[in-house]
């Protein structure tokens, strides 16, 4: 029995971990906002490395804004991008009958 490629699920686990790192500002009041200044560009850069092309750049911009704006850290940007990539935007295969 062959197992399917687990790479997407590894990326899901990483996405959940990265979203949890974005929640640090809620755990440490005062220091958290300073951490967001550092985390916002880092999260955008990581997003471009995880998802290539135009959708990765768009997601990186959204991730940067979400992390930089106070109060928006609750949005799980990495997990939403994973869902968009692996669940909602699967290309439908066209069957051509001959």
Q: What is the mean pLDDT of each run of 10 residues along the chain (98 residues)?
A: 64 94 76 82 95 94 90 88 89 49
pLDDT value of residue 6 = 62
Exposure string (b/e) for 2-27, b if CB count within 10 Å is 16 or more? eeeeeeeeebbeebeebbebbeebee
pLDDT value of residue 3 = 41
pTM above 0.85, yes or no: no
pLDDT value of residue 2 = 44
The 8-class DSSP code of residue 89 comes to -
């Amino acid at each position: 029995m062959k197992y399917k490629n687990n790479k997407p699920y590894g990326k899901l686990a990483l996405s959940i971990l990265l979203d949890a790192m974005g929640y640090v500002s809620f755990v440490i009041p005062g220091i958290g906002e300073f951490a967001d200044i550092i985390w916002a560009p880092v999260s955008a850069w990581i997003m471009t490395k995880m998802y290539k092309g135009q959708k990765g750049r768009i997601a990186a911009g959204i991730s940067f804004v979400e992390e930089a704006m106070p109060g928006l850290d609750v949005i799980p940007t990495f997990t939403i991008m994973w869902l968009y990539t692996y669940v909602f935007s699967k290309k439908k295969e066209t069957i051509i009958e001959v």
